Chains A and B, each alone.
Chain A
């Protein structure tokens, strides 16, 4: 039988974001996978360099539209570390609230996609409807639905008013019941079970080998959560569980995220209760001359890592390591041997986010490749 190479993407119904998967098929079965990326590569690290800290923050939050606060938060954590700056209790709690709201919105968005991918559009619509409630909260608190840009070094741009506290709680209350129903549906529905159970299984060993992080790792039995290992904001004072499941198939990854949404709701409720009546401090331009630091946060998709080096008040070097970038290589392993129809589901079940992932990387199995920028551009036509 002849081998047949089928390109999927970069503009394809199966993937929401541009990426080219070259699947070598034998009949229905995938024999090997070749990934071509770079359709959304912009060169963000280069953009961050040469700017001062206050300017760069806005670019950082625009690396990803889904986890905009995570990028902002990681950036701020790095800078605050560099300046050894302490922030007050209220700022910390509000940041935690927003951070978890973002996790909820991201997980709902993703769960919606997942359902769409397996052809269950009804649930996709329901989940996205619930997500709108969270976006409304963002709009009321930060003034924007997608790019929130609320953090400032040592402070926040806006405070939360008592009315908004109530809005947050009301939104969570109205969502909770419905989300339970959706979760039950996912658990019980025969079609969903059929399409997700046992699909795209990742064992603990493979997960460790390929450096899986975030919810995907937790679904494969690895207890990995930056909120616990290296707590920031108010996570050290709050009660929450890190959910870890062992099976590691698409079904478990879906359910794990749904459970994490409930956990996030718990965190937000505690935070709102703990909000002290002190004011948030006024902010001013950052005065920072020299320094370097690293910072990490648990973004909805896993650990997000920043390194910044400042010289003469300008950022000299920036390094951003995003969660998807850390684990995308695993696709080559787990897509091998599956049926072609399962490919979109497996890709989606990992919750990849390409827009923040795309950076230069050339790694071949047998050799490393070193290229000048010009050569690189020629070869990969970018």
Chain B
């Protein structure tokens, strides 16, 4: 195969959606943007439009009202999409697993490829997960 010029690349856009967490994970995801962690050095941009995003970060305990939204966002994303579940809430329900309004872990509703456990996970862990997700986007 002919070698591709790899300077003509699209930056991976990331969309994050809080499906009902406590804000803890949300803050740590945002903290990855700040000077100490700075995910932008990997070309990652956080955007809010699902159409253009490659990676979907889901955080928080999935509540019944948010399920529809989540599915909608997922279906709007273009193919080659990777979903990342951040925090124990998104993975298992965490501290809110017994709540009446909990609709089950995220991977029950949409396929999840990368799991980052922790309550909340450290920004370093999130970046690590993000890099794994980006590799998947590239490989597919």
Contacts and interface: CB of A to CB of B under 8 A. Distances in A.
A382 B64 contact: yes
B113 interface: no
B48 A13 contact: yes
B73 A11 contact: yes
A146 B28 contact: yes
Nearest to A355: B23
Given A62-B22, A65-B24, A125-B35, A11 B64 contact: no
Interface stretch (A35-43, A262-270, A273-281, A297-305): A35-43
B26 A39 contact: no
Interface stretch (B1-9, B13-21, B126-134): B13-21
B27 interface: yes
A119 B119 CA distance: 31
Interface in B11-47: 15, 17-28, 30-31, 33-36, 47
A41 B48 contact: no
A356 B15 CA distance: 23
A128 B99 CA distance: 33
A16 interface: yes
A309 to B, nearest CB: 20
B73 A42 contact: no
A351 to B, nearest CB: 12
Q: How large is the interface on B (under 10, 10 to 19, 20 to 34, 35 or more residues)?
A: 35 or more
Q: How large is the interface on A (under 10, 10 to 19, 20 to 34, 35 or more residues)?
A: 35 or more
B65 A64 contact: no
B69 interface: yes
Nearest to B103: A382
B99 to A, nearest CB: 5
A47 B66 contact: no
Contacts of A109: 27
A59 B89 CA distance: 12
A353 B23 contact: yes
A40 B22 CA distance: 8
Contacts of A132: 31, 34, 36
A66 B24 CA distance: 7
Given A145-B122, A382-B101, A355 B22 contact: yes
Given A39-B66, A41-B65, A65-B120, A47 B24 contact: no
A147 interface: yes
Contacts of B104: none
Interface in A36-85: 38-44, 46-47, 58-59, 62-66, 68
A39 B20 contact: yes
Contact of B65 (A38, A62, A131): A38
A355 B21 contact: yes
A87 B26 CA distance: 34
Contact of B35 (A38, A65, A129): A129
B96 A47 contact: yes
B20 A42 contact: yes
A128 B19 CA distance: 24
B24 A40 contact: no
A106 B94 CA distance: 24
Contact of B99 (A43, A58, A146, A380): A43
B34 A125 contact: yes
A377 to B, nearest CB: 8
Contact of A65 (B17, B25, B49): B25
B96 A41 contact: no
Contact of A12 (B48, B96, B98): B48
Interface of A: 10-13, 16-18, 38-44, 46-47, 58-59, 62-66, 68, 109, 125, 128-129, 131-132, 145-147, 353, 355-356, 377, 380-382
Interface of B: 15, 17-28, 30-31, 33-36, 47-50, 60-61, 63-66, 68-69, 73, 94-96, 98-102, 119-120, 122
14 contacts: A10-B66, A11-B17, A11-B69, A13-B49, A16-B30, A17-B26, A43-B99, A46-B100, A65-B26, A129-B35, A132-B36, A145-B28, A145-B120, A380-B65
10 nearest CB pairs, A to B? A65-B24, A65-B23, A13-B48, A128-B34, A40-B20, A382-B65, A146-B24, A65-B22, A355-B23, A43-B99
Given A39-B69, A66-B23, 19 more contacts: A11-B17, A11-B48, A11-B69, A13-B47, A38-B65, A42-B61, A47-B96, A62-B94, A65-B27, A109-B27, A128-B30, A128-B34, A129-B34, A129-B35, A131-B34, A145-B120, A355-B21, A381-B64, A382-B65
